[in-house]
Amino acid sequence: MKIAVIGGGSTYTPELIDGILRRQDRLPITEIHLVDINLDRVKVIAAFAQRMVKVSGSSIVVEFGTDLREAINGSTYVVSQFRVGTQTARHNDEMLGRHFGLIGQETVGVGGFAKALRTIPVALSIARVVAEVAPQAILLNFTNPAGLITQMLKTHVPHVNSIGLCNVPWNTKMELATALEIPAAELSLDYVGLNHLSWVRGVTHRDEDISMRALAAFRNLTINQAIAGDSPSWLQSDVDIFQAIPNYYLLYYFAQKPWIEYQKGHPTRASEVMKIETELMAKFADESLVTKPAELMQRGGAYYSDAAAELMADIYQDAGTVHIVNTLNNGAVAGLPDDAVLEISATITSAGAHSIGTHELAPEMHSLVSTVKDFEMLTIDAAITGNERSATLALLTNPLGPDISEVADVWKLIRKENQGMIGLFNE
């Protein structure tokens, strides 16, 4: 059984290797093929992965290279975790928002829009290769903006079995489990929304509804998270308003003024990640290092290995377990289109992910989810067709996008900074 990792030169890759090695009894992988456009970088990561495999006593073969078709050919799983334009493009996305007095972030607002335009053509090309040389493979998409990219995959290459993944739902469950002093495996979450735009509306422990206890626990967590001078965080009163546990990324929508102020006095996240990655790559190149370093947690991928490897193991085992993933609504949430990709609880079998029915969204949730889904669909249309009107409307539809008086200038700068990386708009 083979896994192809697209963007294998990522500093996240050792997390994935670690997760696979810890589940060899349930996920009997024989080969991992890391592929990346940066040969020097993927070579370092592959050598470290080989040392991790050796010290674990596993017989998994780790291959690497730059040939996409070779990597994907015959794979059982294809993990997508690439970044078009590297952290430099991410930095530019963040600065773009700041230039216009908007929130700069890599997955939401104008930054998420620019990243999507760079990513969609590449993700579409990869999916078509999967369809050709590994048609039975399951494509696990971690590439951001994960929900939007998965929506594109489901819409334009529906014959490829794709599932979108994010570590945030797993982080949320672990955080709640710790606060409640209950094993995470015993908790079930009524988790619904879009990637980086979601809520936990209810929590169950062994068939007992403990939602009020969970809300109280999360309210207490907000006290520790709110640190003067740090990035915006939820207040206890915010939880009372929602009567649900909000995804951290919802702060970009509901605390726009604090975020814009925070940006003025802090470097971009991309610039911080660049420093972290430089340090991590130096460690990975150290031939005496055989286990993932503690510094990897600073990268922001906590539980990435668990989310990915556990999902693959449960698919292989036809486990019938529940994971929170990005997949088609298919009637699970009334009032939203069946073909809309949601971040939602799903039953996992050997055939993939199957969304689990739940009650409809409250009006304050539905309105934001519907608007951002409209933005996603406009963005996908722009990237696939090169339609400038769709691009402009996507920017205007996004709740974090520019005013109509500035939309032309924002679009012009996006095109300028991403020349050569945005498909049809390169012409």
397/280 Cα distance (integer angstroms): 39
Q: How many alpha carbons lie under 13 Å from residue 194 in its C-beta half-sphere?
A: 29
Structural contact between residues 390 and 381, judged by C-beta atoms closer than 8 angstroms: yes
Distance of alpha carbon 243 from alpha carbon 253, whole angstroms: 17
Structure tokens at 425: 């708009």
9 vs 80: CA distance, rounded Å: 12
Amino acid symbol at 316: Y
**How many CA within 13 A on the CB side of residue 83?**
16
User: Which residue, among 257, 352, 277, 362, has the nearest Cα to 314 in the 3D structure?
Assistant: 352
Contacting residues for 257 by C-beta, under 8 A, at least 6 apart: none
Q: Active-site residue among 77, 249, 252, 253?
A: 249
Do residues 186 and 173 lie in contact, with contact meaning Cβ atoms separated by under 8 Å? no
Alpha helices per DSSP H over 285-355: 304-317
Report whether 155 contacts 337 (CB < 8 A). Answer: no
CA dist list (Å): 84 to 130, 268, 351, 414: 19, 18, 30, 14
Contact 343, 193 (CB under 8 A): yes
- At residue 321's C-alpha, the angle toward residues 303 and 313, to 5°, is 60
Q: Is 12 a catalytic residue?
A: no
List C-alpha distances in Å: 53 to 123, 263, 269.
29, 41, 32
Q: Which residues are catalytic?
A: 249
